[in-house]
A and B are shown apart, each in its own frame.
Chain A
Amino acid sequence: MKPLSVYVHIPFCLKKCAYCNFTSMEASNTLIQEYLEALKREIGLYHHFLEEREIQTVYFGGGTPSLLPAEELLSLLYLILPRKREENLEITLEANPGTIDLTGLRILKEGGFNRISIGVQSLKDSELALLGRIHNSFQAEKAFQLARSAGFKNINLDLIFGLPGQSLGDFLFSLNRVVALAPEHLSLYCLSLEKGTPLFKKVKSGALEPPQDDLMASIYYSACRILRANHYEHYEISNFALPGYRSRHNLVYWNYGEYIGFGLKAVSFHDGIRRGNLGKIEEYIAFLQEGRAPIAYRSGKRGIAALREEAILRLRTSDGFLEDELRKKYPRAFNAFQKKLLALKEKGLLEEKEGRWRIRERHFFVSLEIMSRLM
């Protein structure tokens, strides 16, 4: 059976954060119920497809999936995995501090979730307030401990850096405290000011200093050093893991693996086709009420375009890609592409060792600059 990963999108939050432009909303219970109804129908549409595949990972993301009662989450999970499958599935739940309790976590753990990703973002209360998070640093640390107590042995914490006004010291304060908790996995995101968000508007209006690129780079590379010293592997631009704890689900994205996404605006990629779901919740629900697949677009890439996409995605990881592997997969397109690779190697922007190509860690923070030269 061909492997497959599954993503489920829960687009609801108690309160939208000041920097967030993801598909998420503060919604009424009725709307949430209608959405879950629709989501279940959508999963149902792919019942046979799921049966035919060897499901490797399941990921509940959002929004705040941990807002939903544990039973609700499990019922969704069982729709996807109706029968017991192999043991080593990775099943992740995104959770926000302030939305979880020990009982719920225990039920989820019992029910099959074995990885939890907590949106800590910062351990400084002033920064959390600036970000518009609903939790404080105490709740954040407590959330981690709750997850541990509930038996989660694979925990990811998200941190954000590059906040307006944040100094290197401010960030190191959060990072060091997070490292002290010893999570298995850490995601380090650099804040991007997205148009339309309250934070963007504040910076635009001059009320807040925009973060400086040089400072962000210093923070990033300091974090890399600290995490390396604490045995974390920097296995993707924004991701660090203790050995054996890389996020299998996310690796599927970066390694051009196949996945199906359920829910509002979720994206699927399998059998050479990428498709995206509708982004308006009313439409999404209405489509499914009529039993129609809520698809907004489908697109397929072949040849050089697919090769480019795969190579660029893989270059986000520290493993990069194997030349032979891609040459075999794209025999006709590879030669033209190789010229660009060699030119970048010449300039010292790509590393090639024994047929494996990658972007060096010291270039991760300018990786887009390098990738754009592969287009």
Chain B
Amino acid sequence: MQEKIRNFCIIAHIDHGKSTLADRLLEATGVKFRVPIEQVLDQMDLEREKGITIKAHPVRLEYQAKEGQTYILNLIDTPGHVDFTYEVSRALAACEGALLVVDSTQGVEAQTLANAYLAMDLNLDLIPVINKIDLPNADPEKTKREIEETLLLDTSEAILTSAKEGVGTENVLEAIVKRIRPPGGDPNAPLRALIFDSHYDPYKGVIAYVRVVDGKVKVGDKIKMMGTDQVFEVMELGYFKLGMIPKGELEAGEVGYLAANIKTLSETKVGDTVTSATNPAREPLPGFRHLKPMVYCGLYPTRNEDFPALREALQKLSLNDASIVYEPESSPALGFGFRCGFLGLLHMEIVQERLEREYEQEIVATAPSVVYRVFMHDGSSLEIDNPAKFPSPEVVDHIEEPFVRAIIMAPQEFVGPMMELAQNKRGIFKNMEYMEGGRVILTYELPLAEILLDFYDQLKSRSRGYASFDYEFLEYRKTDLVKLDILVNGKQVDALCYILPQEKAYEHARRIVSRLRKTIPKQLFEVIIQGAIGSRVIARETIKPLRKNVLAKCYGGDVTRKMKLLEKQKEGKKRLKQVGNVEIPQEAFFSMLKIDTEE
């Protein structure tokens, strides 16, 4: 049985044609599309728009090879972004091989490398696929050389494809059968199945996507999650075509799904091992981690009265995305909202967009923050995900912040600007490699906080779009950070405070304070805006009092016009947030939060 199974995934940089290739494989193996749509695996609109796959989605293909045998090919699609590295690694762990798709007009990119490294770490059989060879500027030979140089992979048997035109699909299928090893594993050992993804079904509860590594599982079996020790009874098993196809049993080597009346996604953690409750395996499969959010931000409804609706939307959303965490918080400046944690920036962006589009919530997000570790003089420590909650500087001994290892790939002429950018962002240079064809791979260690705000945009603008970028979490490191408070007439504005390195504090404080001076409307009294570290004021601006707002002439006939004018002014006052005695328009906050740190 195992001899006839091949478990594989496709890894690629964004837009190198992963989804299109997957579509071709499905077509070629007779998976009938209910609707003739492009790229059937990307279910969400958002995925299609962003050109990435958020949810890994396995499909079982049946393929009759040229030698006559029929094979079961399990295609496990992987999320295409750095934020989901762990999910990618679990999806890869469910496979024995991977197609490494590289766009022959672009060559190797940062994510190509990051994903290939992951696959190599897991000892997968890699098949280089050179895609988009139909395009006039395709350069398959150069792409091959880049793969050889950067990944030390033999490309003599690389497959040339044009997924768009359907060229080379057959060769890909043959290579999967011939060059990817069949799954190992012992069908008679106690059950061990890897959960590599899950989704929530309103009728069946959580559907766990599993790869059975050892043993077998049948409907009715009592199973146990080794990470959480929770026990369930299997209600349904099966595999995926485009939908779910029930099957009474799954055994070693197979990929499928499992439903066991599991109520919440947090009970089926990605990376966990399913075993038998009656005959448990001794050791779980390696690599299980509790995923912790890396990036936090506050999400607030634009209208305070929409708070319950936002709560409901977050509840629903988290049913299908266990990696979101959220808890209510309130801000004097923004009212009631939620502190939400995400795997990374893109994840945050996706959640915000889904809230807005699928759940029709009008939300405002505060500036994202990483999780800081704050060590106190008294030996205690705190994890802080909201700058406003930082303890006062007197009690803080030191602070640690998360660092990432970043790969930047760019044409040689942009190396200068890339280095400058990384330098500005407190990057620590690690390595530089030249590739044939004039491109350079830069490796940097960077504080995660520095890439939260505008790193990606800057990277793209400074390289005219040619640079690509990927990162992975490295470790927590001690750095010289301070908390910058913004005070308006002596009152701290919680939503505007900021954690940043000492050496950037002055400049940033000046920028924020001057920006605020321009966005806060004049009040009937003088307003003093200050940037302060602890009790030390490092920047200050004054807004002179409003001295004129009058309707000079008021005829009888002007009454209507006057009332309209007042009505308009009142509308403007509605969205004002009171901080101390100062009224600050909400827009001012949000424009501040988008402040460009390099401006």
CB–CB A259/B552 < 8 A: no
Q: List 29 A-B contacts (CB under 8 A).
A: A61-B555, A189-B552, A189-B553, A190-B548, A190-B550, A190-B552, A213-B547, A213-B548, A216-B548, A217-B547, A220-B548, A252-B556, A253-B555, A254-B554, A266-B557, A267-B555, A267-B556, A267-B560, A269-B559, A274-B559, A274-B560, A276-B557, A309-B559, A309-B563, A316-B554, A364-B550, A365-B550, A369-B549, A371-B566
Given contacts A189-B552, A253-B555, A267-B557, 19 further A-B contacts (CB under 8 A): A61-B555, A190-B552, A237-B550, A238-B554, A253-B554, A267-B560, A274-B559, A299-B560, A313-B559, A316-B554, A365-B547, A365-B548, A366-B549, A368-B549, A368-B550, A368-B569, A369-B549, A372-B573, A373-B573
CB distance from A157 to the nearest CB of B (A): 15
CB–CB A269/B524 < 8 A: no
Determine the chain B residues whose CB is within 8 A of the CB of A366 once the complex forms.
Answer: 524, 546-550
Known: A364-B550, A366-B548. A261 touches B567 (CB 8 A): no
Known: A189-B553, A368-B565. A267 touches B559 (CB 8 A): yes
Determine the chain A residues whose CB is within 8 A of the CB of B560 once the complex forms.
Answer: 267, 274, 276, 299
B566: contacting residue among A253, A266, A299, A372, CB under 8 A: A372
Determine the chain B residues whose CB is within 8 A of the CB of A261 once the complex forms.
Answer: 556-557
Of all chain B residues, the one with the shortest Cβ separation from A213 is B548
Residues facing A in B84-132 (CB within 8 A) are: none
CB distance from A209 to the nearest CB of B (A): 16
Residues facing B in A183-209 (CB within 8 A) are: 189-192
Residues facing A in B550-595 (CB within 8 A) are: 550-557, 559-560, 562-563, 565-567, 569-570, 572-573, 581
- CA A189 to CA B563, docked complex, whole Å: 19
Residues facing B in A319-375 (CB within 8 A) are: 347, 349, 363-369, 371-373, 375
B430 is an interface residue with CB less than 8 A from chain A: no
CB–CB B556/A269 < 8 A: yes
A17 is an interface residue with CB less than 8 A from chain B: no
Query: Interface residue count for A (Cβ, 8 Å)?
Result: 42
On chain B, which size bracket covers the interface? 20 to 34
CB–CB A369/B546 < 8 A: yes
- CA A213 to CA B549, docked complex, whole Å: 9
B247 is an interface residue with CB less than 8 A from chain A: no
Of all chain B residues, the one with the shortest Cβ separation from A368 is B549
Determine the chain A residues whose CB is within 8 A of the CB of B552 once the complex forms.
Answer: 189-192, 237-238
Of all chain B residues, the one with the shortest Cβ separation from A301 is B563
CB distance from B222 to the nearest CB of A (A): 65
- CA A213 to CA B550, docked complex, whole Å: 11
Of all chain B residues, the one with the shortest Cβ separation from A61 is B555
- CA A372 to CA B524, docked complex, whole Å: 13
Determine the chain A residues whose CB is within 8 A of the CB of B178 once the complex forms.
Answer: none
CB distance from A261 to the nearest CB of B (A): 7
CB distance from A269 to the nearest CB of B (A): 6
B544 is an interface residue with CB less than 8 A from chain A: yes
Determine the chain A residues whose CB is within 8 A of the CB of B553 once the complex forms.
Answer: 189, 192, 238
- CA A216 to CA B500, docked complex, whole Å: 43
Residues facing B in A116-173 (CB within 8 A) are: none
Determine the chain B residues whose CB is within 8 A of the CB of A367 once the complex forms.
Answer: 549-551
- CA A285 to CA B524, docked complex, whole Å: 47
- CA A296 to CA B342, docked complex, whole Å: 59
CB–CB B563/A259 < 8 A: no
Determine the chain B residues whose CB is within 8 A of the CB of A87 once the complex forms.
Answer: none
- CA A349 to CA B581, docked complex, whole Å: 13
Interface centre among A192, A261, A313, A371 (most CB of B within 10 A): A371
Determine the chain B residues whose CB is within 8 A of the CB of A312 once the complex forms.
Answer: 562-563, 566
Of all chain A residues, the one with the shortest Cβ separation from B548 is A213
- CA A213 to CA B570, docked complex, whole Å: 21
Determine the chain B residues whose CB is within 8 A of the CB of A371 once the complex forms.
Answer: 566
- CA A7 to CA B558, docked complex, whole Å: 13
CB distance from A375 to the nearest CB of B (A): 4
